[in-house]
């Protein structure tokens, strides 16, 4: 009888059995009459052991000459081995090659170091390497856990349109396109304005989808296409919003720790740093954060002084977040450089009732959110002050005309969260195919 099919991730259920794996040849070492192929199947990697004396001449020769990333099915006996990364090794019995990678066009990604441009140019193949695959598995869990947190807490998912008639986060970063005859449409920067409408219909809602920003800057935090999850809640104010963000992030980190310890090790993340992320997060006002930077500058800990009234730069955020081992929530920024829709603080109207969550280890902003202006007149004058087209925002103003209530929400960029949780230098590795200022291939 044919051996049962198994996956590398499920080998613990097959110890001592002969099973068949379907996958690819990831690596091959030969040492005299012994071959050590490493197979991968999408769920993990496992090393095989092939002594010349234990297999037929044909199996030995086939494997010995096999090119990397050739597709195959391999049958063998699962043996526990505490030294193996997966905990198991495979005593190979037979092998069948599905497609042999031609000798003269070897798989371009080898175990030696490659430059970033080369890897990005071959992203469709780079994805197969263990570290990149592990990152994508963690990403999937982060996305699932994020949605699950809202699904299990009474939120209704309401997806906003991708093609929009107006800007949400500022006109400078819009992707514009023709929309029939004389109309223009823009790729959405955030679903927020639309889910404010669904929140007033359904109470607690969220959206989850791709968002677009024509970011002209090359940084390790910016993509032109990224995924954002955004909750929006009627009758919620700033303190409640911060509680929501705290519970949300704690849930995501808990889920990742539950099922990705092996992946995190492959990626090289210090797991203890993630384990510290539970419970309540520090909350600092903009003024307090500024004072912290001021002191750090006077003590020579940061080079450039932070100017009161300005936004925090990347080095500022890095310094602040490195002072805590948990995400830190900074609230009440000056309204002057924040979005037009943010509710002013009644105690100091120059400040907005908003919050940014900065991830630890210097990762900077992963969440931005706020309470929204609920007064018709104030919102109308803000739209005018920001030189936004009133007619395009008429529907949005309607929300303040028909039963306006305090409401609040935030957005978390999935890629920023993946970069922090996996400990990656750059967001380009957090998404299968990154879109940036200078790359749209593959
Ligand atoms: O702070 P932002 O601009 O806030 C909004 O878009 C609000 N409308 C969200 C809301 O309140 N519903 O963006 C939210 C998050 C950022 O904190 C960051 O994680 C991510 O989106 N983000 C980006 N991620 C990758 N590349 C970019 N260019 C990003 N711009 C924002
Ligand atoms: Mg922001």
- 85-88-94 Cα angle (round to 5): 125
User: CB of 372 closer than 6 A to ligand 1?
Assistant: no
pLDDT band for position 149 (cuts 50, 70, 90): very high
Tell me the per-residue pLDDT of 334-377, one tens digit each, with 9 for 90 and over.
Answer: 999 999 999 999 999 999 999 999 999 989 999 999 999 999 99
Q: How far apart are the C-alpha atoms of 291 and 305, rounded to whole Å?
A: 11
Q: What is the pLDDT of residue 167?
A: 76
Residues 47 and 129 both lie in one domain: no
Number of the ligand closest to the Cα of 222: 1
CA distances from 86 to 6, 17, 262, 400 (A): 14, 16, 8, 57
Tell me how far the alpha carbon of residue 358 lies from the centroid of ligand 1, in angstroms.
Answer: 12
Can you tell me the mean pLDDT for 422-441?
A: 96
Is 183 found in the same domain as 306? yes
Distance, in Å, from the CA atom of 205 to the CA atom of 177, rounded to the nearest integer, reads: 29
139: CATH? 3.30.930.10
Q: Is there an atom of ligand 1 within 6 Å of 222 CB? A: yes
Q: Are residues 334 and 418 in the same domain?
A: yes
The answer to whether residues 95 and 128 belong to one domain is no
**Partners of 326 in beta bridges:** none
Alpha-helix residue ranges (DSSP H) falling in 15-66:
57-64
191 lines ligand 1 (CB under 6 A): no
Closest residue by Cα to residue 131 from 24, 32, 264, 39 = 264
Q: Could you tell me how far CA 91 lies from the centroid of its own chain?
A: 38
Q: Which residue's C-alpha comes closest to atom 9 of ligand 1?
A: 411
State the Cα–Cα distance between residues 236 and 374, nearest whole angstrom: 12
Note whether 228 and 333 are same-domain residues.
Answer: yes
The helix/strand/coil state of 174 is coil
If one counts the domains in the chain, the total is 2
* Same-domain check for residues 234 and 281: yes
Contact by Cβ (8 Å): 193, 170: no
| Alpha carbons 133 and 8: distance in angstroms, whole number | 14
Q: For residue 417, which atom of ligand 1 is closest to its CA?
A: 19
Rg (CA), the chain: 26
**Minimal CA–CA distance to 436: which of 90, 30, 123, 168?**
123
Whether 111 maps to a domain, the answer reads no
Confidence of residue 140 (pLDDT cuts 50, 70, 90): very high
Is the bond into 442 cis (omega within 30 degrees of 0)?
yes
The 10s digit of each residue's pLDDT in 292-325 is 999 999 999 999 999 999 999 989 999 999 999 9
Tell me the β-bridge partners of 377: none
88-99 and 45-51 beta bridge pairing = parallel
pLDDT given for residue 441 in this prediction: 96
Tens-digit pLDDT profile for residues 185-196:
999 999 999 999
Let me know whether 59 and 191 are in one domain: no
Residue 295 Cα, ligand 1 centroid: separation in angstroms? 29
Supply the mean pLDDT for the chain.
95
CA 58 to ligand 2 centroid distance, Å: 61
Q: Are residues 270 and 313 in the same domain?
A: yes
At residue 218, does pLDDT exceed 90? no
Ligand 1: distance of its center to the CA of 397 in Å? Answer: 23
Q: What is the CATH number of the domain that holds 45?
A: 2.40.50.140
Position 23 scores a pLDDT of 98
Q: Does the Cβ of 434 fall within 6 Å of ligand 1?
A: no
- Does the residue 114 lie in any domain? no
143 and 30 housed in the same domain: no
Residue 316 lies in a domain: yes
Residue 166 above 90 pLDDT?
Answer: no
Quick one: 129 and 275 in the same domain? yes
**Are 366 and 325 in contact, with CB atoms under 8 Å apart?**
no
In a domain, 85, yes or no: yes
Domain boundary among 54, 83, 99: 99
Answer whether 33's CB lies under 8 Å from 52's CB. Answer: yes
The first and second tokens of residue 326, run together, are: 């948990």
Ligand 1 pocket, residue 411 CB under 6 Å: yes
Q: For residue 105, tell me if it sits in a domain.
A: no
Q: By C-alpha distance, which of 145, 320, 127 is closest to 247?
A: 145
Pick from 221, 248, 215, 227: nearest CA to 329: 248
Q: Is residue 2 part of a domain?
A: no
Q: Is the ipTM of this complex over 0.90?
A: yes
Cβ atoms 65, 34 nearer than 8 A: no
For residue 278, the model assigns a pLDDT of 83
The pLDDT confidence band at residue 111, using thresholds 50, 70 and 90, is confident
In the chain, DSSP finds a helix count (H) and a strand count (E) of 13, 18
Question: Does one domain contain both 129 and 67?
Answer: no
Token pair 């280890």 in the structure block, residue: 361
Q: What spatial distance separates the first Cα and last Cα of the chain, rounded to whole Å?
A: 43
Q: Which residues contact 103 (CB under 8 A, 6 or more apart)?
A: 67
Give me ligand 1 centre to Cα 416, in Å.
Answer: 9
Helix (H, G, I), strand (E, B) or coil at 200: helix
SS3 24: strand
pLDDT at 11 over 90: yes
Among residues 82, 99, 116, which one ends one of the domains? 99
Tell me what the mean pLDDT of segment 101-114 comes to.
93
Q: Parallel, antiparallel, or unpaired for β 183-187 and 163-164? A: antiparallel
Checking 386-391 for CB contacts under 8 A at 24+ apart, the result is 386/340, 388/166, 388/167, 388/171, 388/340, 389/166
Beta carbon of 316 within 6 Å of any ligand 1 atom: no
Within 8 A by CB and 6+ apart from 295, the residues are none
* pLDDT band with cut points at 50, 70 and 90 for residue 172: confident
Domain that holds residue 62: 8-99
- Within 10 angstroms of residue 281's Cβ, the number of other Cβ atoms is 20
Spatial separation of the C-alpha atoms in residues 248 and 24, rounded to whole Å: 38
Q: Is the CB of 196 under 6 A from ligand 1?
A: no
> Is the CB of 168 within 6 Å of ligand 1?
yes
191 and 53 together in one domain: no
**CA-to-CA distance for 403 and 118, rounded, in angstroms?**
56
Which pTM does this prediction carry?
0.96
What mean pLDDT is predicted for residues 24-45?
95
Neighbours of ion ligand 2 (CB under 5 A): 368
């Amino acid at each position: 009888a044919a051996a049962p099919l198994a996956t590398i991730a499920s080998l613990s259920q097959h110890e001592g059995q002969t099973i068949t794996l379907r996958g690819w040849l990831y690596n091959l070492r030969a040492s005299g009459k012994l071959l050590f192929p490493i197979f991968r199947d999408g769920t993990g990697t496992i090393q095989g052991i092939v002594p010349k004396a234990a297999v037929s001449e044909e199996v030995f020769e086939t494997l010995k000459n096999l090119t990397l990333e050739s597709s195959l099915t391999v049958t063998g006996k699962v043996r526990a081995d505490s030294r193996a990364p997966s905990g198991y090794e495979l005593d190979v019995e037979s092998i069948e090659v599905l497609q042999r990678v031609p000798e003269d066009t070897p798989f371009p990604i080898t175990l030696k170091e490659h430059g970033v441009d080369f890897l990005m140019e071959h992203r469709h193949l780079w994805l197969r390497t263990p570290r990149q695959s592990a990152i994508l598995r963690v990403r999937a869990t982060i996305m699932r856990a994020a949605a699950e947190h809202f699904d299990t807490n009474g939120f209704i998912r309401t997806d906003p349109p991708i093609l929009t008639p107006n800007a949400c986060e500022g006109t400078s970063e819009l992707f514009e396109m023709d929309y029939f005859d004389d109309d223009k449409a823009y790729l959405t920067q955030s679903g927020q304005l639309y889910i404010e409408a669904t929140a007033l219909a359904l109470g607690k809602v969220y959206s989850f989808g791709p968002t677009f920003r024509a970011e002209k800057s090359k940084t390790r935090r910016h993509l032109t296409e990224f995924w954002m999850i955004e909750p929006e809640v009627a009758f919620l104010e700033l303190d409640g919003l911060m509680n929501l963000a705290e519970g949300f992030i704690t849930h995501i980190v808990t889920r990742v720790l539950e099922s990705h310890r092996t992946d995190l090790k492959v990626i090289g993340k210090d797991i203890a740093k993630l384990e510290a992320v539970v419970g309540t997060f520090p909350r600092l006002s903009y003024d307090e954060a500024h004072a912290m930077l001021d002191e750090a500058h006077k003590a020579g800990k940061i080079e450039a002084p932070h100017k009161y009234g300005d936004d925090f730069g990347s080095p500022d955020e890095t310094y602040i977040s490195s002072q805590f081992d948990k995400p830190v929530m900074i609230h009440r920024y000056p309204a002057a450089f924040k979005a037009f829709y943010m509710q002013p603080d009644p105690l100091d109207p120059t400040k907005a009732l908003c919050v940014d969550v900065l991830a630890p280890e210097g990762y900077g902003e992963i969440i931005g959110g706020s309470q929204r202006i609920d007064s018709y007149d104030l919102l109308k004058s803000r739209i005018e002050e920001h030189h936004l087209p009133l007619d395009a925002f008429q529907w949005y103003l309607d929300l303040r005309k028909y039963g306006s209530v305090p409401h609040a929400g935030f957005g978390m960029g999935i890629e920023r969260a993946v970069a922090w949780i996996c400990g990656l230098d750059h967001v380009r590795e957090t998404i299968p195919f990154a879109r940036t200022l200078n790359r749209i291939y593959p």
